[in-house]
Structure 1
Amino acid sequence: MTTMIYPTLHLLARPDVMPSGLHVTRASEATRVNALGRVETVSAHVLRHDYAPDTGVYRGWLVEEARTNQVRFSQVLTQAPWLTGDATVTARAVLAPDGVSLAGTLTETAATAVHTLFQESLSFTAGQRYALSVFAKANGRERLQLVLPSTAFGVVQSAVFDLGGGSIGATEGDPAPTIEVFTDGWVRCALSATATGTALSPVHLRLRDTGAVSSYTGDGVSGAHLWGVQLEAGAAPSSLIATTTAPATRAADRLRMTLGAGDVHPHQGTLMARGAVPAGLAAPLVELSDGTADARMTLSVDAQAGSAAFTVVDGGATVAALSRDGVTGGAEVRAAAAYADDDVALALGGSALATDGDATVPTVTTLTLGGTASGAVGPRCWVRQVGVFPRRLGDGDLQSLSA
């Protein structure tokens, strides 16, 4: 940067540090990935410091919307209503991804058949997108197929996952599959699709061989370790929500700070944010507002469109809406937006600026992370850093700040 203007408000995510003045509200327990790559439960109203499960890289503060896991006994797959077809389930067979509990094992029979674990009468609503996920580890079978039913999705939506290689194989329908590598040979397999009908239908977890069809001749001993099955309404899987006898809901994270008189200039400034949004999702990283949707400035990331945006609303009207391309889902981005009357600009990753010469600056009193003052959250993002500067920084400084 060519100038020496320091932020009047600077929030930097650091492992296990709670920033002064930041209020965290979440009316339930939740989970995160800790520095060891383990799934860990965090108490209600506690900030979630999250890490990449494969590398241990610190990702920052995890912010998510409320989600419900419909599956019952998500961790104990020997309990009803779980059912099997030409397969058996053994409980408490191997250490689970949380490093504390024990996961079950699905083992194929020696029959020529579809070897499957399933749960029936799960609720789907037409037009809603659903994500099915499970933690899995090879135990003689390297492939696992996740299946959403044709009765709710028009045609079968499925994907085959290579548990050993951490890759995605054949798909049916038009699902969006993902795989995330954890420690100790575990991966989290997931797929999402949009329901076309309203129905009570099953979901299946099927063992697969290297063939092109679901049915094959088993050997009676091979299978996969499974844990943490989750079915939730949403475009992508969220953090683990454990269930027992009934579906369970994780409440939304709400991260908010009241701005002091010395935190923001009333007529100009610069807002900087660093964070990430998973592929296929869009979420605000930071918003300055008066506590309502009528006066706000929002820096957001759309990982599906591959862009970042800066939106200014004053008096209930949108007075500026800028965007820049260059976002990759799951990858950390830096964005910086400058604002003054009739002078708004946005930079992403050091790129050329997007500008607007016809805007007003709203009065703001509240900073919100990973959501908006109107109450919307996520659906899922990581916030690493936020800075509020008391001046409209120059264009070159804005590019440097976002690089």
Structure 2
Amino acid sequence: MGGGDGDISLDPYSIYAKAAERSILVIAFATQFPANSFANFNLLTRAITAGGGLVSSSVTSMGNGWYRCSITSTASSTATATIVHYLNNGSSILYTGDGISGIYIWGTQLEASSTPSPYTPTQATSVTRASDAVSRVLGDEFNPSEGSFYIEYTPNKLTGVGAILG
């Protein structure tokens, strides 16, 4: 990742999300970034409430209720950073939860680029890819008419707050 003046640029981080029982996804850079490096994404209205620590944030409709939520910030060091996802119950991310309410998520991606590019599956090593058409983004990897993949787990607590992913 590039940068100047001692800063390390974190180029776009994105995730695909769809509202279910909850509709507000919060993405935050938890360590190695300026304070308030977060954004609240309302998956029903497409409204974004971003903290002042972000360089940019965006939400893009992908069809069928799915949205690509992206944030960019500038890291202050090359140490390991943490990106965290929270659910907001409409008033706070600090709530116990009910054990059944959530959102659908898919295709998280951190990349070295000036803007988010279409989802590129990777495993143990990074992948260089040619330019893709937007229609390919939720292509063969995701087909809502052929079923779903469901994960249920209990997250570890980060500084007293339960994150849905970290």
TM-score (norm 2): 0.68
Q: What percent of counterpart residues are identical?
A: 31
Partner of 1:250: 128
Deviation digits for residues 215-247 of structure 1 (CA, Å, limit 9, x no counterpart): 123121110111000011233211111123x24
- Spell out the pairing of 1:335-350 with structure 2 (5 A cutoff): none
Residues 34 and 53 in structure 2, CA contact (< 8 A), matched pair in contact too: no
Structure (1/2) with the larger strand percentage: 1
Quick one: which amino acid aligns to residue 199 of structure 1? A
Give the letter aligned to residue 128 of structure 2.
Answer: R
TM-aligned CA deviation for residue 138 of structure 1: 0.9
For the 8 Å contact 1:159–1:172, the answer to whether it is kept is no
8 A contact 2:18–2:66 mirrored in 1: yes
The corresponding residue for 1:223 is 102
Q: Is 2:9 the partner of 1:128?
A: yes
CA distance in structure 2 between the aligned counterparts of 1:220 and 1:180, rounded to whole angstroms: 29
Alignment match, 1:206: 86
CA distance 1:170–1:194, change in 2 (3 Å) = closer
In structure 2, the residue matched to 1:166 is 46
Task: Give the secondary-structure state (helix, strand or coil) at the position aligned to 2:63.
Answer: coil
Q: Which residue of 2 aligns with 1:138?
A: 19
Aligned counterparts, 1:225-240, within 5 A = 225-240=104-119
Would the alpha carbon gap of residues 172 and 223 (structure 1) be closer, same or farther in structure 2, given more than 3 Å must change?
farther
Indicate the structure (1 or 2) with the bigger Cα radius of gyration.
1
Q: Secondary structure at the match of 1:234?
A: coil
**How many residue pairs are counted as aligned between the two chains?**
127
- Tell me by how many angstroms 1:185 deviates: 0.7
Which amino acid letter does the alignment assign opposite residue 197 of structure 1? S
Q: CA deviation at 1:170?
A: 4.2
Rounded Cα–Cα distance in structure 1 between residues aligned with 2:93 and 2:79: 24
Provide Cα deviations, 1:85-112, integer angstroms capped at 9, x if missing partner. Answer: xxxxxxxxxxxxxxxxxxxxxxxxxxxx
User: 1:38-95: per-residue Cα shift (whole Å, max 9, x none)?
Assistant: xxxxxxxxxxxxxxxxxxxxxxxxxxxxx9xxxxxxxxxxxxxxxxxxxxxxxxxxxx
- Contact residue 149 and residue 156 of structure 1 kept, 8 A: no
Taking the aligned partners of 1:249 and 1:156, their CA distance within structure 2 comes to: 31
Contact 1:179 1:187 in 2 (8 A): yes
Give CA-to-partner distance per residue, 1:130-152, whole Å, 9 cap, x none: 211000001100000111133x2
Residue 153 (1) aligns with residue 36 (2): no
Contact 2:25 2:43 in 1 (8 A): yes
Deviation at 1:252, TM superposition (A): 4.8
After the TM superposition, list the runs of 4 or more consecutive aligned residues in structure 1 that deviate by more than 4 angstroms: none
Change (3 A) 1:126 1:199: farther
- Report the Cα distance in structure 2 between the residues aligned to 1:242 and 1:179, rounded to whole angstroms: 20
* Contact 1:159-1:175 at 8 Å conserved across structures: no
SS in 1 for 2:19: strand
Note if contact 2:14-2:70 (Cα within 8 Å) is conserved in structure 1. yes
CA apart distance, 1:192: 0.6
Structure 1 residues 108-128: Cα deviation after superposition (integer angstroms, max 9, x where no partner): xxxxxxxxxxxxxxxxx9332
CA RMSD in angstroms comes to 2.2
